[in-house]
Chains A and B, each alone.
Chain A
Amino acid sequence: MAPRIDHYDWSGGREALLRFGPDDGPVAILVLPLFEEANRTRTFAVGLLRRLAERGVASLLPDVPGQGESLIPLADLTRSRMAEALEALTDRCLDEGRRTYAVGIRSGMLLDHCALHSGRWHLCPQDGDALLRDLHRTWRAAGNTGSPEMMIHGEDTVEIAGNILSRDLLTSFSATTSFDQPRVPRRIVRLASDPAPAHRHIDAAPLWRRAEPGDAPDLADTLAADIADWIATCEA
Protein backbone atom coordinates (compact mmCIF):
# COMPACT_ATOMS: atom_id res chain seq x y z
CA MET A 1 0.00 0.00 0.00
CA ALA A 2 1.25 3.48 -0.85
CA PRO A 3 2.13 5.81 2.02
CA ARG A 4 -0.43 8.51 2.80
CA ILE A 5 0.49 12.17 2.97
CA ASP A 6 -0.45 13.92 6.20
CA HIS A 7 0.84 16.75 8.38
CA TYR A 8 1.44 17.56 12.02
CA ASP A 9 1.29 20.81 13.97
CA TRP A 10 3.73 22.11 16.53
CA SER A 11 4.30 25.47 18.19
CA GLY A 12 6.44 26.64 15.26
CA GLY A 13 4.02 25.73 12.47
CA ARG A 14 2.92 22.77 10.38
CA GLU A 15 5.09 20.11 8.76
CA ALA A 16 4.41 17.32 6.29
CA LEU A 17 4.64 13.63 7.11
CA LEU A 18 4.18 10.28 5.41
CA ARG A 19 2.05 7.59 7.09
CA PHE A 20 2.58 3.89 6.55
CA GLY A 21 0.66 0.86 7.76
CA PRO A 22 -2.36 0.52 10.04
CA ASP A 23 -4.11 3.45 11.75
CA ASP A 24 -4.05 1.86 15.17
CA GLY A 25 -1.56 0.17 17.43
CA PRO A 26 1.98 1.27 18.25
CA VAL A 27 3.69 3.50 15.75
CA ALA A 28 7.34 3.88 14.79
CA ILE A 29 8.45 7.47 14.10
CA LEU A 30 11.48 7.52 11.84
CA VAL A 31 13.82 10.49 11.89
CA LEU A 32 16.29 10.78 9.03
CA PRO A 33 19.86 11.93 9.57
CA LEU A 34 20.35 15.67 9.56
CA PHE A 35 21.37 17.79 6.59
CA GLU A 36 23.05 16.20 3.57
CA GLU A 37 22.76 12.63 4.84
CA ALA A 38 18.96 12.98 4.80
CA ASN A 39 19.04 13.17 1.00
CA ARG A 40 21.15 10.04 0.81
CA THR A 41 18.90 7.96 3.05
CA ARG A 42 15.34 9.08 2.26
CA THR A 43 14.63 6.52 -0.47
CA PHE A 44 16.06 3.80 1.74
CA ALA A 45 13.99 4.95 4.73
CA VAL A 46 10.75 4.97 2.73
CA GLY A 47 11.52 1.43 1.55
CA LEU A 48 12.20 0.39 5.13
CA LEU A 49 8.87 1.79 6.36
CA ARG A 50 6.96 0.14 3.50
CA ARG A 51 8.44 -3.18 4.55
CA LEU A 52 7.53 -2.46 8.14
CA ALA A 53 3.92 -1.85 7.03
CA GLU A 54 3.95 -5.22 5.24
CA ARG A 55 4.71 -6.70 8.64
CA GLY A 56 1.69 -4.92 10.10
CA VAL A 57 3.66 -2.22 11.92
CA ALA A 58 2.53 1.41 11.54
CA SER A 59 5.04 4.19 11.06
CA LEU A 60 5.42 7.88 10.35
CA LEU A 61 8.11 9.73 8.45
CA PRO A 62 7.84 13.37 9.52
CA ASP A 63 9.63 16.28 7.93
CA VAL A 64 11.76 17.75 10.68
CA PRO A 65 11.42 21.56 10.74
CA GLY A 66 14.04 23.09 8.46
CA GLN A 67 14.49 19.80 6.56
CA GLY A 68 12.72 18.16 3.63
CA GLU A 69 9.75 20.23 2.44
CA SER A 70 9.65 22.40 5.58
CA LEU A 71 9.14 26.11 4.99
CA ILE A 72 11.03 27.10 8.13
CA PRO A 73 14.57 28.33 7.42
CA LEU A 74 17.05 25.85 8.85
CA ALA A 75 19.17 28.70 10.19
CA ASP A 76 16.33 29.73 12.54
CA LEU A 77 16.30 26.38 14.32
CA THR A 78 18.18 24.59 17.07
CA ARG A 79 18.30 20.98 18.19
CA SER A 80 15.76 21.75 20.94
CA ARG A 81 13.27 23.31 18.54
CA MET A 82 13.52 20.37 16.17
CA ALA A 83 13.05 17.92 19.03
CA GLU A 84 10.11 19.97 20.31
CA ALA A 85 8.33 19.56 16.97
CA LEU A 86 8.80 15.80 17.11
CA GLU A 87 7.60 15.79 20.70
CA ALA A 88 4.34 17.39 19.49
CA LEU A 89 3.95 14.57 16.98
CA THR A 90 4.43 11.93 19.66
CA ASP A 91 1.97 13.77 21.92
CA ARG A 92 -0.63 13.60 19.18
CA CYS A 93 -0.12 9.84 18.86
CA LEU A 94 -0.35 9.41 22.64
CA ASP A 95 -3.59 11.42 22.63
CA GLU A 96 -4.91 8.93 20.08
CA GLY A 97 -3.95 6.13 22.46
CA ARG A 98 -0.97 4.97 20.40
CA ARG A 99 2.45 4.37 21.90
CA THR A 100 5.41 5.59 19.85
CA TYR A 101 8.83 4.11 19.16
CA ALA A 102 11.67 6.28 17.88
CA VAL A 103 13.60 4.97 14.90
CA GLY A 104 16.66 7.18 14.48
CA ILE A 105 19.11 6.87 11.63
CA ARG A 106 22.56 8.34 12.31
CA SER A 107 22.23 11.91 13.69
CA GLY A 108 18.43 11.65 13.50
CA MET A 109 18.64 9.96 16.90
CA LEU A 110 19.77 13.29 18.40
CA LEU A 111 16.21 14.61 18.03
CA ASP A 112 14.23 11.99 19.98
CA HIS A 113 15.10 13.01 23.55
CA CYS A 114 12.07 15.23 24.27
CA ALA A 115 9.28 12.87 23.20
CA LEU A 116 7.82 10.25 25.54
CA HIS A 117 8.72 7.26 23.39
CA SER A 118 8.21 3.73 24.67
CA GLY A 119 11.58 2.78 23.20
CA ARG A 120 14.34 3.93 20.87
CA TRP A 121 15.90 2.00 18.00
CA HIS A 122 19.04 3.57 16.54
CA LEU A 123 20.87 2.70 13.35
CA CYS A 124 24.56 3.65 13.40
CA PRO A 125 23.97 6.51 15.85
CA GLN A 126 26.14 9.55 15.26
CA ASP A 127 26.66 11.88 18.23
CA GLY A 128 26.80 15.65 17.99
CA ASP A 129 30.57 16.01 17.98
CA ALA A 130 30.94 13.46 15.18
CA LEU A 131 28.26 15.33 13.24
CA LEU A 132 30.13 18.62 13.66
CA ARG A 133 33.39 16.94 12.65
CA ASP A 134 31.74 15.68 9.45
CA LEU A 135 30.36 19.13 8.72
CA HIS A 136 33.76 20.70 9.27
CA ARG A 137 35.42 18.29 6.88
CA THR A 138 32.76 18.97 4.23
CA TRP A 139 33.17 22.70 4.81
CA ARG A 140 36.90 22.40 4.26
CA ALA A 141 36.40 20.21 1.19
CA ALA A 142 34.45 23.13 -0.30
CA GLY A 143 37.62 25.24 -0.15
CA ASN A 144 37.26 26.89 3.26
CA THR A 145 40.13 27.01 5.70
CA GLY A 146 40.06 27.18 9.47
CA SER A 147 39.28 25.27 12.62
CA PRO A 148 35.84 23.93 13.62
CA GLU A 149 35.51 26.99 15.86
CA MET A 150 36.07 29.27 12.87
CA MET A 151 33.41 27.37 10.93
CA ILE A 152 30.91 27.76 13.77
CA HIS A 153 31.72 31.26 14.99
CA GLY A 154 33.25 32.93 11.92
CA GLU A 155 29.99 34.26 10.48
CA ASP A 156 26.34 34.36 11.59
CA THR A 157 25.56 31.59 9.14
CA VAL A 158 27.63 29.14 7.14
CA GLU A 159 26.62 27.21 4.03
CA ILE A 160 27.62 23.55 4.05
CA ALA A 161 26.62 21.33 1.13
CA GLY A 162 23.67 23.59 0.33
CA ASN A 163 22.40 23.90 3.92
CA ILE A 164 22.43 27.32 5.59
CA LEU A 165 23.45 26.62 9.19
CA SER A 166 23.52 29.20 11.98
CA ARG A 167 25.88 29.48 14.90
CA ASP A 168 23.04 28.68 17.30
CA LEU A 169 22.09 25.57 15.34
CA LEU A 170 25.66 24.26 15.16
CA THR A 171 26.44 24.92 18.82
CA SER A 172 23.17 23.27 19.86
CA PHE A 173 24.58 19.93 18.64
CA SER A 174 27.92 20.29 20.40
CA ALA A 175 28.62 17.51 22.93
CA THR A 176 25.15 15.98 22.44
CA THR A 177 24.56 12.28 22.62
CA SER A 178 21.71 9.81 22.53
CA PHE A 179 18.90 9.69 25.05
CA ASP A 180 19.56 6.60 27.11
CA GLN A 181 17.74 6.06 30.38
CA PRO A 182 17.27 2.92 32.45
CA ARG A 183 13.88 1.24 31.95
CA VAL A 184 13.40 2.81 28.50
CA PRO A 185 14.30 0.18 25.89
CA ARG A 186 17.03 1.16 23.49
CA ARG A 187 18.40 -1.01 20.70
CA ILE A 188 21.48 -0.15 18.67
CA VAL A 189 22.16 -1.68 15.26
CA ARG A 190 25.40 -0.98 13.42
CA LEU A 191 27.10 -2.09 10.25
CA ALA A 192 29.69 -4.85 10.45
CA SER A 193 32.38 -2.37 9.40
CA ASP A 194 31.67 -0.23 12.48
CA PRO A 195 33.67 -1.52 15.45
CA ALA A 196 31.59 0.33 18.10
CA PRO A 197 29.43 -1.80 20.43
CA ALA A 198 25.88 -2.63 19.35
CA HIS A 199 23.11 -5.16 19.94
CA ARG A 200 23.56 -6.34 16.39
CA HIS A 201 26.04 -5.81 13.55
CA ILE A 202 24.85 -6.22 9.96
CA ASP A 203 27.04 -6.64 6.91
CA ALA A 204 26.10 -3.75 4.58
CA ALA A 205 27.55 -0.58 3.07
CA PRO A 206 26.94 2.85 4.68
CA LEU A 207 24.70 4.45 2.07
CA TRP A 208 24.75 7.79 3.93
CA ARG A 209 28.39 8.15 2.89
CA ARG A 210 27.75 7.46 -0.77
CA ALA A 211 28.70 10.35 -3.02
CA GLU A 212 25.49 9.71 -5.02
CA PRO A 213 22.22 8.81 -3.26
CA GLY A 214 21.49 5.10 -3.55
CA ASP A 215 19.32 2.43 -2.00
CA ALA A 216 19.85 -0.79 -0.09
CA PRO A 217 16.71 -2.96 -0.35
CA ASP A 218 18.33 -5.97 1.32
CA LEU A 219 19.36 -3.88 4.30
CA ALA A 220 15.84 -2.39 4.46
CA ASP A 221 14.41 -5.95 4.57
CA THR A 222 16.71 -6.99 7.38
CA LEU A 223 16.10 -3.85 9.42
CA ALA A 224 12.31 -3.94 8.98
CA ALA A 225 12.32 -7.45 10.44
CA ASP A 226 14.58 -6.33 13.28
CA ILE A 227 12.39 -3.33 14.15
CA ALA A 228 9.15 -5.32 13.93
CA ASP A 229 10.53 -8.02 16.25
CA TRP A 230 11.92 -5.45 18.67
CA ILE A 231 8.64 -3.51 18.89
CA ALA A 232 6.75 -6.78 19.41
CA THR A 233 9.13 -7.64 22.27
CA CYS A 234 8.70 -4.19 23.83
CA GLU A 235 4.92 -4.44 23.56
CA ALA A 236 4.75 -7.96 25.03
Chain B
Amino acid sequence: MLPEGYTQVETTVRAVLADVLGLSAERVAGFTATTPLFGALPELDSMAVAGVLTEIEDRLGILIEDDEVDGDMLETFGALVEFAAGKALV
Protein backbone atom coordinates (compact mmCIF):
# COMPACT_ATOMS: atom_id res chain seq x y z
CA MET B 1 0.00 0.00 0.00
CA LEU B 2 1.53 3.33 -1.05
CA PRO B 3 1.47 6.10 1.55
CA GLU B 4 -0.82 9.05 1.00
CA GLY B 5 0.79 11.69 -1.18
CA TYR B 6 3.18 9.24 -2.85
CA THR B 7 1.60 9.85 -6.24
CA GLN B 8 1.99 13.58 -5.80
CA VAL B 9 5.68 13.17 -5.01
CA GLU B 10 6.07 10.99 -8.08
CA THR B 11 4.36 13.63 -10.24
CA THR B 12 6.64 16.31 -8.81
CA VAL B 13 9.82 14.32 -9.45
CA ARG B 14 8.65 13.59 -13.01
CA ALA B 15 8.01 17.29 -13.63
CA VAL B 16 11.40 18.28 -12.17
CA LEU B 17 13.21 15.86 -14.50
CA ALA B 18 11.32 17.29 -17.48
CA ASP B 19 11.95 20.91 -16.50
CA VAL B 20 15.61 20.67 -15.46
CA LEU B 21 16.79 18.22 -18.11
CA GLY B 22 14.64 19.65 -20.90
CA LEU B 23 12.92 16.31 -21.54
CA SER B 24 9.56 16.16 -23.28
CA ALA B 25 6.43 15.47 -21.28
CA GLU B 26 5.87 12.30 -23.33
CA ARG B 27 9.31 11.02 -22.49
CA VAL B 28 9.03 11.49 -18.73
CA ALA B 29 5.47 10.14 -18.80
CA GLY B 30 6.99 6.87 -19.94
CA PHE B 31 9.30 6.61 -16.90
CA THR B 32 8.54 3.65 -14.64
CA ALA B 33 10.02 2.69 -11.28
CA THR B 34 12.75 0.70 -13.04
CA THR B 35 13.73 3.32 -15.63
CA PRO B 36 17.48 3.90 -15.15
CA LEU B 37 18.55 7.52 -14.56
CA PHE B 38 22.13 8.40 -13.63
CA GLY B 39 24.50 6.93 -16.17
CA ALA B 40 21.62 6.12 -18.55
CA LEU B 41 20.25 9.60 -19.28
CA PRO B 42 22.93 11.63 -21.08
CA GLU B 43 21.21 14.84 -19.95
CA LEU B 44 21.69 13.90 -16.31
CA ASP B 45 25.35 14.78 -15.66
CA SER B 46 26.66 15.66 -12.20
CA MET B 47 25.87 19.37 -12.64
CA ALA B 48 22.32 18.57 -13.70
CA VAL B 49 21.97 16.33 -10.65
CA ALA B 50 22.62 19.41 -8.50
CA GLY B 51 19.79 21.26 -10.27
CA VAL B 52 17.40 18.30 -10.01
CA LEU B 53 17.96 17.88 -6.26
CA THR B 54 17.65 21.58 -5.51
CA GLU B 55 14.46 21.86 -7.52
CA ILE B 56 12.99 18.80 -5.76
CA GLU B 57 13.85 20.45 -2.43
CA ASP B 58 12.09 23.67 -3.41
CA ARG B 59 8.95 22.02 -4.73
CA LEU B 60 8.52 19.53 -1.90
CA GLY B 61 9.73 21.84 0.86
CA ILE B 62 12.41 19.38 1.99
CA LEU B 63 16.17 19.59 2.62
CA ILE B 64 18.48 16.94 1.17
CA GLU B 65 21.75 16.63 3.06
CA ASP B 66 24.83 16.16 0.92
CA ASP B 67 25.83 12.92 2.62
CA GLU B 68 22.45 11.48 1.61
CA VAL B 69 23.22 11.93 -2.08
CA ASP B 70 24.65 8.74 -3.54
CA GLY B 71 24.48 6.61 -6.64
CA ASP B 72 21.69 4.40 -5.30
CA MET B 73 19.10 7.16 -4.96
CA LEU B 74 19.74 8.25 -8.55
CA GLU B 75 19.98 4.82 -10.09
CA THR B 76 16.34 4.54 -11.15
CA PHE B 77 13.29 6.77 -11.31
CA GLY B 78 11.68 4.61 -8.62
CA ALA B 79 14.65 5.01 -6.28
CA LEU B 80 14.60 8.80 -6.64
CA VAL B 81 10.84 8.99 -6.01
CA GLU B 82 11.20 6.71 -3.00
CA PHE B 83 13.97 8.87 -1.57
CA ALA B 84 11.97 12.07 -2.08
CA ALA B 85 8.83 10.49 -0.63
CA GLY B 86 10.79 9.33 2.40
CA LYS B 87 11.72 12.97 3.03
CA ALA B 88 8.43 14.62 2.13
CA LEU B 89 5.94 12.18 3.63
CA VAL B 90 6.97 12.05 7.26
A residues sitting closer than 8 Å to B (CB atoms) are 133-134, 136-138, 140-143, 161, 193-195, 205-206, 209-212, 214
Q: Measured between alpha carbons, how far is A140 from B45 in the docked complex, in Å?
A: 13
Q: Measured between alpha carbons, how far is A140 from B66 in the docked complex, in Å?
A: 9
User: Inside 8 A of A206's CB, which chain B residues have their CB?
Assistant: 19-20, 55
The residue in chain A whose Cβ has the minimal distance to the Cβ of B45 is: A211
Q: Answer whether A137 and B50 are a contact pair too, CB < 8 Å, given A193-B15, A209-B19, A210-B20.
A: yes
Among A136, A138, A143, A214, max chain B CB count under 10 A is at A138
Select one of A138, A142, A195, A210 contacting B22, CB under 8 A.
Answer: A210
Q: Is the CB of A209 within 8 A of B55?
A: yes
A sample of 16 more A-B contacts (CB under 8 A), given A137-B53, A142-B47, is: A141-B50, A142-B46, A193-B58, A193-B59, A205-B18, A209-B54, A210-B19, A210-B20, A210-B22, A210-B51, A211-B22, A211-B43, A211-B45, A211-B47, A211-B51, A212-B22
Q: Measured between alpha carbons, how far is A140 from B64 in the docked complex, in Å?
A: 13
Q: Is the CB of A214 within 8 A of B22?
A: yes
Select one of B21, B46, B58 contacting A141, CB under 8 A.
Answer: B46
**How many residues of chain B are within 8 Å of chain A by beta carbon?**
22
Judge whether B33 is part of the interface by a CB distance below 8 angstroms. no
Q: Is the CB of B22 within 8 A of A209?
A: no
B25-46 vs A: 1/0 string, CB under 8 Å? Answer: 0000000000000000001011
